[in-house]
Structure 1
Amino acid sequence: MKAILTTVGQDQVGIIAGVSNYLAQKQINILDVSQTIMSGYFTMMMMVEVPSADLDFVQVATELKDLGTKLGVEINIRNADLYQAMHQL
């Protein structure tokens, strides 16, 4: 299943490393990434491929929120199908 992961927060060392290490441990593949710094705030969007048969998506979302708290950023992940459905209405 494809998902969109967003990360936003004050820029600091280790944000990309923390997020990408978590994804690698869960065998979640990064398909595309865009990141920038806007007025001192780090923003990153990723399109990822979640191996749905092996992982509980709700648990992944909770663990990413917890990781965000540790890194001092806000991390959200949403099923890409939701975005597509919103644009088809």
Structure 2
Amino acid sequence: MKIVVTIVGQDRVGIIAMVSTILAENNINILNINQNILDGFFNMVMIADMTFSKMALKDLQQFLKEKGKAIGLDIKVQHEGIFQSMHQI
């Protein structure tokens, strides 16, 4: 299953490292990363494959949400199909 991870907040050292480490520890493969930083504001969209992960999507969503909140970031994880449906014109 492919997922979309979005991260928004103030830029700081280690955002990508934190998220990619959590994904790697849970056998989730990063397929694509797109990030922008504008006036200190960090925005990233990551596509990942969690086919071989033993962690449930719901658990990953909660875990990353809490990790992000602890450092002032909004981190959301969605099933790719839901993300695409929400962003169709």
TM range, normalised to the smaller chain? 0.7 to 0.9
Distance 2:43 2:53 in 1: 29
State how many pairs are aligned. 88
Other-structure match for 2:7: 7
Does residue 35 (structure 1) correspond to residue 51 (structure 2)? The answer is: no
Verify the 8 A CA contact 1:18 1:71 in the aligned structure 2: no
Task: Note the 1:1-80 alignment, pairs <5 A.
Answer: 1-51=1-51, 54-80=54-80
Verify the 8 A CA contact 2:27 2:53 in the aligned structure 1: no
Distance 2:83 2:70 in 1: 27
**Residue-by-residue CA offset, 1:43-82 (whole Å, 9 max, x unaligned):** 1100000126622110110000011012321100000011
Distance 1:27 1:3 in 2: 13
Give unpaired runs (5+ residues) of structure 1.
none
SS of the residue aligned with 2:43? strand
Distance 1:17 1:50 in 2: 18
Instruction: Using the aligned pairs only, state the percent identity.
Output: 38
Calculate the TM-score normalised by the size of structure 2.
Answer: 0.88
Amino acid paired to 2:33: V
* Greater Cα shift, 50-59 or 4-13: 50-59
Verify the 8 A CA contact 1:15 1:71 in the aligned structure 2: no
Q: CA RMSD in A?
A: 1.8
Verify the 8 A CA contact 2:34 2:45 in the aligned structure 1: yes
